[in-house]
Each structure stands twice: as structure tokens, then as C-alpha cells.
Amino acid sequence: MADPVYDVAIVGLGPTGATLANLLGMAGLSVLVLDKEAGVFPLPRAIHFDGEVMRVFQNLGLREAVLERARPGTQGMHFVNAAGETMLIRGGTAALGPHGCANNYYFHQPELEALLRDGLARFPNVSVRLRHALEAISDDGDGVRLTVRSLDDDRACRFSARYVVGADGARSLVRAHMGSPMHDLGLRQPWLVFDVVLQRPVDLPDHTVQHCDPARPMTYCNVTGTRRRWEIMVMPGDDREALLAPKNLWRMVDRWVAPDDATLERAAIYTFHSVIAEGWRRGRLLLAGDACHQTPPFLGQGMCAGIRDAANLTWKLEAVLRGRAADTLLDTYESERAPHVRELIELAVRLGGIIQTTDPALAAERDAKFRAGAPEVFELPPQALGTGAFDARGGAPAGRPFPQPRLADGRLLDEALGRRMAVIGRNGTIAGVSAATHDRWERAGAIVIDRPEPCIADWLDAHHADAVVLRPDRYIVGVARTAAELERISQWVPAAP
């Protein structure tokens, strides 16, 4: 009997790979997941995600379980100079934001990864092979052959898949096979990451603080529960081995916490990178997460970017594999995601320039500039996609996420729409399109709503529109003011002929 050919093989079971596997599992596709480790890495790494990522977790059916393990970042991130003056604030709130949840959350990565892996048990169509290391890849145009070695018994295994996604991290073997170069966007700086668990109450801020002190820039984070983190810039001339000695670690944070107050969980030095790959797709091979981009942590967007990759890629793989779209739809993955990732990396690098200023004269000049007015409050820029599978000719809001209001029956919008394309219209726009377009919507599996609830009608009013078309990842295909415009933007809805 021939070995099965999986629809998608995913290399790497970190947050990006696990999210992608859950999304593809929900789509009913056959999925193979390979990871060389035996289980979840037990120590903290990523600690922040945003409202759009919580929306993805909601659409995985895991929102409540995630909320039990994460906390909203209610007070944002404060950039404070050496004199203790607040220069800049990244906003934060527990109120419902545009995605139907708080704008920011803090979490403990091992708990989230375990939850995502447990979620895969819901899908008999998803096969997870731990302790299996990728050795070779062969793309023959019709499919991909993977040679994998079991690390438990040293046995070579071979698997086949129609598509392979490398979510295998910064040292991606899939990326190396594809030959996709990484481009450096200008920041490469070592930092010491110092995680503790409090053993008794300590008077520490509830919010994140960027200590922009030229003598030693630091970041303080209230993670969840009793977990706290300091990130400490490694300065020129530092002896890295000496920095990691416990007595020196505690000395650097002794103005806030002492060894009697907390237990050291982890201390490690990492180099913060700002890089992006060119070539996220080569035939049937694709990249996601750290395999194709790495961002400094000053915005907390590293893991978020990978989760967005997974959401973008899932509906396109499903459309192609179900025969509703040509294989060329996958070319829009990089063209949409890469510009947004680059924008976030560049913003993180600019913030890093504020935080990492170590010249006292330049720091004084920076402080004077910010001191001229009240602390500026900023949010992330709009999550706009690059050119791709939406009506870019119509301009904004196409290519941006549609908000998720709560409906009259208490459900959030995505709970009503499900994992489908959606066409929402009023004032005769739905009835006014051709039978061929109605047929296209049906073949695409779109949900069609011709009497939107008041909250959606208000959004249409604000955009001077009578219809909107949404993708399964809840990004906007386009808005229409007439049936003729709705007819035109519906050509972006992938449907089998």
C-alpha cells in the first residue's frame, strides 16, 4: 500500500507551526507536522501578542482557554528616560478593541504552546511526529518528498506532501534548501534576558517600562502571575560570561528586586536581529514565522508576525488544494505579508534607536525633544497588506482587517461568519449583481448577508459604502457603493470554474 500524500507538511511546531497546523486541521486538510524536539521548550521566550492574534486564537476555538492563561496589557508600554520622565507611551487597554478583544496580551510561552499542541488532538487529519529531524527535500513539481530521521531509533523515514511550510525558525533548513537570502534591516545587538518568579509581593509597575538610560538601557515586563522579566542591553566591553554570574545579574536589577524576593528562572544572552527573507515561496515550498523574518522585541511583534503568516497562508492553501483557486494565489502570500512585516521591523528598529541610545549627549538631545510636550501615545500602524488578493484599486480600507463587533445575539462577528468568505450588503446591492456572481459566491462557499446588523451598517456608513467583501482571514477584499462595484470586486473571490 502506497504511503499517504499529505496536503501540507509543516516543519516546526513552535507557535507559528502549531497555529498553522490547527488552522489547516480545522479546514479538514491532511497535515503532517515534524519537529525534532520531544516537547515544548520549558522556559519563557515570547511574552506578548496583540488583539489580531487573539482573534486568530478565537477562530481556532481557543479564545477562552487562552484568556485563562494570558492577561490584557491594560497600561501599555512606557518609555522612561534616566531622570524617570515618561517620554513616549504605547497605548494599552482592557476594553474591546477593533478585533473584539483587548489590544495587547502578556503570556507565558510554554503554556500557550502546550495549549496549541493539545488543540491538534481535535483533528484526526493532523499527524504530529516529534523527535523527527528533516534531512532532505525533493520538489519534483507534482509534490514534495521529505527524508526525515527519527531521533529515537535513528530510522530514516520518507513522507510526501503537496505543499511544505518551513516554520522551522531562524536557522530554517527549509529556507536553506530554497536558497532564499535574508536581508539585514540594520539592528544587531546583544541583550541579556533575565526571567524571575516572585516569591513575595514587590512594588513593581504593572506595565512594561523601557528604561532609556544611556548608562545601561533595560526593559522591564510584568508577564503573568508572579513572572517578571528584565531585558538588559549588553554594553561594549562587557564580559558576557561574567554578566551571567548570579551576583552580577542581581546587582543590575537591585533597585527593583533582590534574590530574597524572587527565584531566577532563566538568564541568557540573545542577539536581537532585524532581518527579512526574499523568496517566501519556491514552487511547493513556503516559509513562515522566524524562518522568513526576525524582528527586535521592542514592539512585541515577533510571534505575532508568524501567527499572521499562518492565518494568511491557511485560506490560500485551502482554496488551492480544494480547487477553488489557481496555484498562483500562493504568490500573493509574500507580496501581502512582506511589506507589513518590513514596516513593523523598521518601526521596532526606530524604537530600538530611542531605547539603545548610549551616548549621554545624544540621550540629552533625545530627552529635550520629548520633554517639549506631553508624552506621545502611539499605537501600531494599521495592519495594511501589500499588493495581493484584494481590490487595491479601490484603496483603503481594502487590504486591512475588518473590525469584529459583538452582534445583537451576543456573538462576536467571526463566530457568525465562520471560516468563510463573506459578502455583506444592503440597499439592493446583493440583489443587483448577476446570476454568475451569485454562482461564484456559492462556489466559493461564501456567506451572503443582505440585511447587516446596525453595528455593520454603521461601519458601511462611515465608509460611504453599501457592501463589503471579506476574506476568510477577515481582511477586506473591497467595499462597493453600487451593485456594479460589488460585481467588480467579487472577481477577487476565488471560486472553481
The pTM is what?
0.95
Q: Taking CA 131 as the corner, what is the angle to CA 128 and CA 134, rounded to the nearest 5 degrees? A: 85
Cell readout for 328 is 498562483
pLDDT in tens, 3-43: 789 999 999 999 999 999 999 999 999 999 999 999 999 98
Extents of the domains making up the chain? 5-68+107-180+275-341, 392-492
Q: Over the stretch 251-284, which tens digit does the pLDDT of each residue have?
A: 999 999 999 999 999 999 999 989 999 999 999 9
Rounded CA-CA distance 467/175 in Å is 41
Least confident among 144-153, 320-329, 369-378: 369-378
The pLDDT of residue 303 is above 60: yes
Residue 463, pLDDT score: 96
Q: Residue 1: what pLDDT?
A: 46
Cα-Cα-Cα-Cα dihedral sign, residues 454, 455, 460, 461? positive
The C-alpha cell of 287 is what? 516559509
Paired with 6 in beta bridges are 161
pLDDT of residue 464 exceeding 50: yes
Structure-block grid coordinates of residue 362: 545624544
pLDDT at 75: 77
Q: Rounded to whole angstroms, how far apart are CA atoms 82 and 78?
A: 13
Residue 456 CB partners (closer than 8 Å, separation 6+): 405, 413, 424
For residue 52, give the nearest of 98, 93, 14 by alpha carbon.
Answer: 98
- Distance (Å, rounded) from C-alpha 282 to C-alpha 279? 7
- Helix (H/G/I), strand (E/B), else coil: 460: helix
Region 139-144 average pLDDT:
88
Place of cell 517578571: 228
Let me know if domain 392-492 sits in CATH 3.40.30.120: yes
Kindly state the average pLDDT of the residues 391-413.
92
Instruction: Say if residue 396's pLDDT is above 80.
Output: yes
CATH class of 5-68+107-180+275-341: alpha beta
